[in-house]
Amino acid sequence: MNFRRKIFYTFRLRTISKFTIILILACFMLISIYVTNQNKNHHNEIDVEEPSTELYNFGINIVVLKNVRIDPSKVVGAIGGEDPLKVPNQPESYELLNFEYGFIKTGVKPNIKKEQLHSYETNVIKFLESLEVLDSVDWKTKHYYKEKIVLLVTRVEYANLYHTMTDLYNTFITIKLLNLTINNIHIIIVDGHPLGNLDELWYKLFKNSITRIGSYRYTTDNNNNNNNNNNNNVIPLLPINNEDHLLYINKLVIVPYGYASPLYVDKDIIINNTNNNNNNNNNNMYIEEFKQFLLSSYNLHDTYNICNNNNNGNNNNGNNNDNNSNNNDNNSNNNDNNSNNNGNNNDNNSNNNDNNSNNNDNNSNNNGNNNDNNSNNNDNNSNNNGNNNNGNNNNNNGNNNNSNNNNNIINNNNNYKSIQIIIISRNNYYSHPRNIKGIINRKINNELQLLNKLKQLGFYNSFIIDLINLSINEQFKLIINTNILIGMHGAGLTYTLLLPNTSSLIELFPYYCCQGNKHFIKFTELRHINYNAYYGLSYNDNKQLDTSYIPINEFELLFIRTFHKWKENIEKEKNRKKC
């Protein structure tokens, strides 16, 4: 009996011992994994007290400085945040700030060599050149701001959607690569630009945790107080030392500006994140994550449903409400829907109404548009500025001879008739102090003809949209439900980044400008979406008015080719998802 009991207790003791050893080993393993992850998360180095300067090369160079002081009095240039109408003709050089030696102060000599940086990372180089190394400083006697990690963001072309998107992407990718979160960062905008239409994006995406460097100059520089009493856009949020008027920051990150962005047209940069084993993210440079970041900030989601019976999954009711600002488009749409089945003879009156509404709503496009509409409604009896005889005659013949073919295209694709097609209109508006007349270049002078052609082909859910008339939220809603985006080469095509994954882009180029530009070709390649382009001829351009005529027959062929490619991609995706 004692022998059995002894064996039992021995077995039990061994079992408990083995279990204890396994548990201890598991704990050590978990601790090891945790420590490894903490070492990879650069933001945990915020606990290090000693000042230091680190360069992280992820394809783009990100500089991280610890325990530094920023001296706002060393900034030269505009305060920023003014009403742009109150600073007309303000030089851009005054808004692109200069930083004197001592703008950034640290206790250690940086170990970053200029050769390690790319020549185009100009803003990073400028900040490092302003860095002053203090000889003897007791860093532990000062209170450094630790609540959030501070990012220095430089904007150049702040009023341009394309360049704003490259700046936003660089800020996003910096946060991503350093394993930070939106909630634990604060952005200091280090430029002197006045208010702009796109400022909302910065405050919305980064939850209003943003200040301008000018706000700290405004606080400490008595010479500027009288000039900025009414400027409520320069309110400091970070604590500033009352004795020396410096910002004491525990961790400061210098974000490369947009010209050094992997998104920028001439930068062949691949993101190299050694902390992330997801090769898909590395291949597409987190483009899809960036898209979702933009949408989620506005409480929007990519609602595209490839398996929907209409094959587009659009929230059409919401989009139609968003497009109310473009009355001429809606009227044209309604009239064309009612008159399309009766032939072109019934279209004259309805299109004349469109001309009247367009005359009221789009004053900037009066030259060319009304003439184009009249020539279209009267079966092209005249030839638009005398430049397009061949194009219009061919278009008339094409319309007469190919009407049956066009009808067959639609009849064979009834499930696709409700796809949303957007033509981006470029109209004059005041955007920044150097453009007080609000002149916008590269307009389409016959955009209503293009719209009418789409309606004739049966694509009734087509619209001409002037994005400046929509809020950013409305613009986002519109784009995520767009299947084919059409527009002249310009910043509005930046929204290629937000299109559904099966969408297509048609980019139009005038003869006199930009035919070698590949800004949006790069975006379509990053998004893996279909791209087509029209390259204009000199006799279709009016350089004096900065407008271009797009031949209808060429536009029709280009659109049909794009549509068939879009349809092919839809079918492939449906087969892949087994809809």
Look at residue 270 in the predicted model and tell me its pLDDT. 78
Asked whether the predicted pLDDT for residue 313 surpasses 50, the reply is no
Q: Does residue 526 share a domain with residue 398?
A: yes
Number of helices and strands (H, E) in the chain?
19, 18
Q: For the range 235-240, what are the long-range contacts, defined as Cβ-Cβ under 8 Å and sequence gap of 24 or more?
A: 235/211, 236/211, 237/186, 237/209, 237/211, 238/145, 238/150, 238/186, 238/188, 238/211, 239/145, 240/72, 240/216
The residue with greater pLDDT, 306 or 390, is 306
Q: Does residue 190 share a domain with residue 153?
A: yes
The helix (H) or strand (E) run that includes residue 360 is: helix 347-361
Say if residues 235 and 211 touch (Cβ distance below 8 Å): yes
Domain assignment present for 467: yes
Last residue of a domain, one of 297, 332, 364: 297
Q: Does residue 82 share a domain with residue 169?
A: yes
CA distance 134 to 67: 12
Q: Give me the DSSP letters along 255-323.
A: ---GGG-TTSTT-------TT---HHHHHHTTHHHHHHHHHHHTT------TTSTTSS---HHHHHHHG
CA distance 327 to 333: 10
Look at residue 10 in the predicted model and tell me its pLDDT. 73
Domain assignment present for 160: yes
The residue with greater pLDDT, 388 or 7, is 7
Look at residue 400 in the predicted model and tell me its pLDDT. 44
Q: Does residue 359 share a domain with residue 402?
A: yes
Q: What is the pairing mode between strands 149-153 and 247-254? A: parallel
DSSP bridge pairs for 55: 63
| Exposure string for 496-518, b = 16+ CB within 10 A, e = fewer | bbbbbebbbbbbbbbeebbeeee
Structure confidence at residue 295 as a pLDDT band (50, 70, 90): very high
Q: Does residue 386 share a domain with residue 504?
A: yes
Comparing 10-24, 304-318, 451-465, the range with the smallest average pLDDT is 304-318
Closest CA to 395 of 185, 277, 263, 549: 549
Q: Does residue 387 share a domain with residue 288?
A: no
Asked whether the predicted pLDDT for residue 229 surpasses 70, the reply is no
In this structure, how many other beta carbons lie within 10 angstroms of the beta carbon of residue 357? Answer: 18
Q: For the range 272-276, what are the long-range contacts, defined as Cβ-Cβ under 8 Å and sequence gap of 24 or more?
A: 272/57, 272/58, 272/59, 273/58, 273/176, 273/177, 275/40, 275/41, 275/177, 275/179
Query: Which residues make Cβ contacts (< 8 Å) with residue 90, sequence separation at least 6?
Result: 78, 194, 433, 434
Domain assignment present for 267: yes
Look at residue 365 in the predicted model and tell me its pLDDT. 41
Closest CA to 362 of 386, 322, 335, 332: 332
Q: Does residue 344 share a domain with residue 293?
A: no
What pLDDT, in 10s, does the model give residues 238-269?
999 888 899 999 999 999 999 999 999 888 77
Domain assignment present for 33: no
Structure confidence at residue 13 as a pLDDT band (50, 70, 90): confident
Asked whether the predicted pLDDT for residue 277 surpasses 60, the reply is no
Closest CA to 67 of 110, 129, 97: 110
Look at residue 372 in the predicted model and tell me its pLDDT. 41
Domain assignment present for 219: yes
Comparing 27-36, 100-109, 282-291, 357-366, the range with the smallest average pLDDT is 357-366
Q: Does residue 355 share a domain with residue 270?
A: no
What number is the average pLDDT over the span 76-94?
A: 95
Q: Does residue 517 share a domain with residue 460?
A: yes
3-class DSSP state of 144: coil
Question: Considering the chain, what is the average pLDDT of its residues?
Answer: 79
Provide the number of structural domains found in the chain: 2
Domain assignment present for 36: no
The model's pTM is: 0.76
3-class DSSP state of 531: strand
Look at residue 518 in the predicted model and tell me its pLDDT. 92
Say if residues 446 and 372 touch (Cβ distance below 8 Å): yes
Look at residue 238 in the predicted model and tell me its pLDDT. 93
The residue with greater pLDDT, 366 or 162, is 162
Q: Report how far apart, in Å, the C-alpha atoms of 120 and of each of 242, 364, 577 are.
A: 37, 38, 43
CA distance 216 to 236: 6
Asked whether the predicted pLDDT for residue 399 surpasses 50, the reply is no
Look at residue 252 in the predicted model and tell me its pLDDT. 96
What pLDDT, in 10s, does the model give residues 129-171?
999 998 866 666 678 899 999 999 999 999 999 999 999 999 9
Last residue of a domain, one of 247, 267, 297: 297
Q: Does residue 374 share a domain with residue 270?
A: no
Give the pair of three-digit tokens for residue 412: 């064979």
Comparing 19-23, 254-258, 265-269, 336-340, the range with the smallest average pLDDT is 336-340
Look at residue 54 in the predicted model and tell me its pLDDT. 86
Q: What is the pairing mode between strands 98-99 and 247-254? A: unpaired
Domain span holding position 399: 316-577
Asked whether the predicted pLDDT for residue 462 surpasses 60, the reply is yes
Asked whether the predicted pLDDT for residue 332 surpasses 70, the reply is no
The residue with greater pLDDT, 75 or 35, is 75
Look at residue 107 in the predicted model and tell me its pLDDT. 86
What number is the average pLDDT over the span 545-573?
A: 93
Look at residue 236 in the predicted model and tell me its pLDDT. 85
What number is the average pLDDT over the span 276-287?
A: 61
Q: Does residue 389 share a domain with residue 252?
A: no
Q: Does residue 534 share a domain with residue 457?
A: yes
Look at residue 46 in the predicted model and tell me its pLDDT. 42
Look at residue 535 in the predicted model and tell me its pLDDT. 95
What number is the average pLDDT over the span 405-432?
A: 77
